[in-house]
Amino acid sequence: MHTLAQAFDASENIGRNNSDSPSIQEVVAARLNRRAVLKGTLGIAVLATTVGPPVSVKAAPGRSADIDANPRFKFDDIGPGGGYDHQVANGYDADILIRWGDPVLPGAPAFDPASQNAGGQRLQFGYNNDFLGYLPMPGAANPSHHGLLVVNFEYTSAELMLPRAGQQDIRTDEDIADIEMAAHGGAVIEVERAAGKWRVVAGSKFARRIDVETPIEVAGPAAGHDRLKTQTDPSGRHVRGMLNNCGGGITPWGTWLSCEENFHGYFWGEVAPHHREAGNFKRYGVRGQWYEWGRWHDRFDLAKEPNEANRFGWVVEIDPFDPTSTPKKRTALGRFKHEGAAGIVNKDGRYVIYMGDDESFEYVYRFVTAARVHPPGNAANRNILDDGVLSVARFNADGTLDWLPLVHGHGLITEANGFASRADVLIETRRAADLLGATKMDRPEDVEANPRTGRVYVSLTNNAGRTADQVDAANPSADNRFGHIVEMTPADGDHTANRFTWDILLKCGDPSIAPEVAASSASGVESGWLAMPDNIAVDAQGRLWIATDGNTMATTGRTDGLWGLETEGLFRGRAKQFYRVPAGGELCGPVFTPDDETLFVAVQHPGEPAGSDPGTQDIPLRHLGVAWPDFRPGIPPRPSVVAITKRGGGKIAT
């Protein structure tokens, strides 16, 4: 057992050479060796497909020769390492915008961990901020200086949050359960930049908290189905709350898609082996029993209310500009452990959403709307996500990819196989995808299209459970501890096409630990790699940014953070670290303002125990005054949103 000081010193010694400048010959050699001159995919399809505000990205004028010859990220790599504080590249400011427990709604009490209660928490910023979306304020003088920030709150850890919470209390204290329920969900906050600095607008008419009690409507083909009916909701259309909201998306019509991921963890109790839902629950890992809310709330007890578990695991659509609107669970997008829901307007005007199901050996999905997107403000967009085709990806060994439609009555998705209706297919999306022979992936996290290039990136975070006889072309590493990134390219830039091509952009990890990485990636330099990719952001210049989840001083010599990743030209596959989180944390939600001058990030679970990370063996960091970001004795670590800007102004990383 180390003391805190020893642990911190040891971590400092793990640092590696910061040098990140390979000779151009080294880079060329690595590139040619790896990709056989890009298999003829050098040309970039330029798509002018993004519709107008609120989130607009201008179409690229065309491929620049400059991309081939020069790295596109202009900043100094911060190199490996980690500590109690966060760190951003030289020349940038990383300012705390809002923390767990800060006021969101009128009447919210000031944060006081010793007297935290559910009533206060419902009005305050929730715990473990994850996805962030920025929506410019209509009519703002500068759309990149004034907007709404939407925020997911994924999960809670009472033992980190509350001074009174020991393991025993968490299991037996109803008040703690109620605080945790109030700290889940999401928030809308209004934010403004003045004199270079961002602040939350107090008393905003847009401010909103959503939690585990918020009324939410079920929409789409599964709404009202018998399998969604409960004793308190015989209609099968009115759910209370959303659970474990992880990644998300912002639609071109100005709504927020918030994704329910590990919903299984909230249920306890069980159903009989012959019960209608027994197979369904088994496939989704229900019951997870991460929380014991079912002790006080019957709906989380499968024995009392089995269908409640079918009412979670969906993508929730929320109108952030109308705080009185009822969020909607869009069942047409399927039920699984949704990571994110980033989309792109196809060249024919239909909206295409790419989605990962984040669990080992799960699938990559795509949803294509039946209707075309209308300009923002048009009511025709309101329920556009209720009708469309959900498909699942099969990555073929020859570099092609087939989207297999999950359509009731087609192929094996029939009544004989247990699917009596379209609703059944959506409620048991995973089992339907199994029947079609989809490719089992290494934990799909964010899947995001780059509107500049038309290419789509799939973040596969890791899968140490894959054995040598389970590898395939798209998941080529056994014991894949560090993950990889797959690039999908739609034929003719048509995101609705049934056949794409695919390639591996990057095998992740430390080349000194995983030699096959060095042989297959263009990193070529000690600090030019990243591990365990998770959330993805594409900035207005079409550059790819990757956030990570799972790095520790023990395993990769660094805490999680944000990397710029080259996707084109000679430096393709080369990563540079721009920001790192404090020990124990994970980086979520990277999002840029439309001018690329502000980068918002969400630091999740700082101080969470993470092996030998400094300080995190000893959970009560609060006693020592080293808990981020307050650094005050008695104050626990607080997940927070950070606004990053360039000192003196200008676009990030240019």
Residue (of 587, 591, 556, 590) closest to 86 by Cα position: 587
Provide the 10 A C-beta neighbour count for residue 492: 9
First to last CA, the chain: 44
Q: Which is nearer to ligand FEO, 445 or 568 (CB)?
A: 445
544 interacts with, out of Ca ion, ligand FEO, none, CB within 5 to 8 A per kind: none
**Sequence-ordered list of residues with C-beta below 8 angstroms from that of 212, at least 6 positions apart, any chain:** 181, 182, 184, 185, 240, 241, 242, 243
Q: Does 211 bind Ca ion (CB under 5 A)?
A: no
How far apart (Å, rounded) are the C-alpha atoms in residues 231 and 311? Answer: 13
- Taking CB under 6 A as the criterion, the residue among 159, 233, 358, 568 binding ligand FEO is 358
Residue (of 427, 97, 175, 392) closest to 279 by Cα position: 427
Per-residue binding letters, 252-281, with ligand FEO (x by CB under 6 A): ---------x--------------------
319 interacts with, out of ligand FEO, Ca ion, none, CB within 5 to 8 A per kind: none
Q: Which is nearer to Ca ion, 460 or 517 (CB)?
A: 460
Residue (of 512, 544, 610, 492) closest to 47 by Cα position: 492
Window 411-450: residues binding ligand FEO (CB under 6 A): 445
| Segment near Ca ion (CB under 5 A); pick from 56-64, 171-179, 548-556, 632-640 | 548-556
Give me the torsion for CA of 610, 611, 616, 617, rounded to 10°: 140
261 interacts with, out of Ca ion, ligand FEO, none, CB within 5 to 8 A per kind: ligand FEO
Q: Does 233 bind ligand FEO (CB under 6 A)?
A: no
Residue (of 451, 510, 509) closest to 482 by Cα position: 509
How far apart (Å, rounded) are the C-alpha atoms in residues 54 and 251? Answer: 9
Q: Are 421 and 223 in contact (CB under 8 A)?
A: no
Alpha helices in 190-344 (DSSP H): 278-284
Q: Which is nearer to Ca ion, 180 or 534 (CB)?
A: 534
Q: Tell me the closest approach of the beta carbon of residue 581 to Ca ion, in angstroms.
A: 12
Cα distances from 105 to residues 108, 190, 548, in angstroms, run: 6, 11, 31
Point out the residue whose Cβ comes nearest to Ca ion.
549
442 interacts with, out of ligand FEO, Ca ion, none, CB within 5 to 8 A per kind: none
Q: Tell me the closest approach of the beta carbon of residue 635 to ligand FEO, in angstroms.
A: 26
Q: Does 534 bind Ca ion (CB under 5 A)?
A: yes
Task: Encode 24-56: b = buried (16+ Cβ within 10 Å), e = exposed.
Answer: eeebeebbeebbeeeeeeeebbbbebbbeebbe
Per-residue binding letters, 337-356, with ligand FEO (x by CB under 6 A): --x-----------------
Q: Does 308 bind ligand FEO (CB under 6 A)?
A: no
Q: Does 246 bind ligand FEO (CB under 6 A)?
A: yes
Q: Does 154 bind ligand FEO (CB under 6 A)?
A: yes
Residue 137's region, left for phi above 0, alpha for psi from -120 to 50, else beta, is beta
Using CB under 6 A, count the residues that bind ligand FEO. 6
Q: Which is nearer to Ca ion, 510 or 534 (CB)?
A: 534
Q: Which is nearer to ligand FEO, 301 or 445 (CB)?
A: 445
- Taking CB under 5 A as the criterion, the residue among 233, 317, 402, 549 binding Ca ion is 549
| Segment near Ca ion (CB under 5 A); pick from 24-32, 34-42, 244-252, 623-631 | 244-252
Q: Does 316 bind ligand FEO (CB under 6 A)?
A: no
DSSP code per residue over 48-62: ----STTS--PPP-S
How far apart (Å, rounded) are the C-alpha atoms in residues 31 and 303? Answer: 57
Give the amino acid at 353. I
**Separation of CA 576 from chain center:** 20
| Segment near Ca ion (CB under 5 A); pick from 240-248, 325-333, 482-490, 624-632 | 240-248
Give the amino acid at 424. D
Q: Tell me the closest approach of the beta carbon of residue 401 to ligand FEO, in angstroms.
A: 22
Contacting residues toward ligand FEO, per CB under 6 A? 154, 246, 261, 339, 358, 445
Contacting residues toward Ca ion, per CB under 5 A? 246, 534, 549
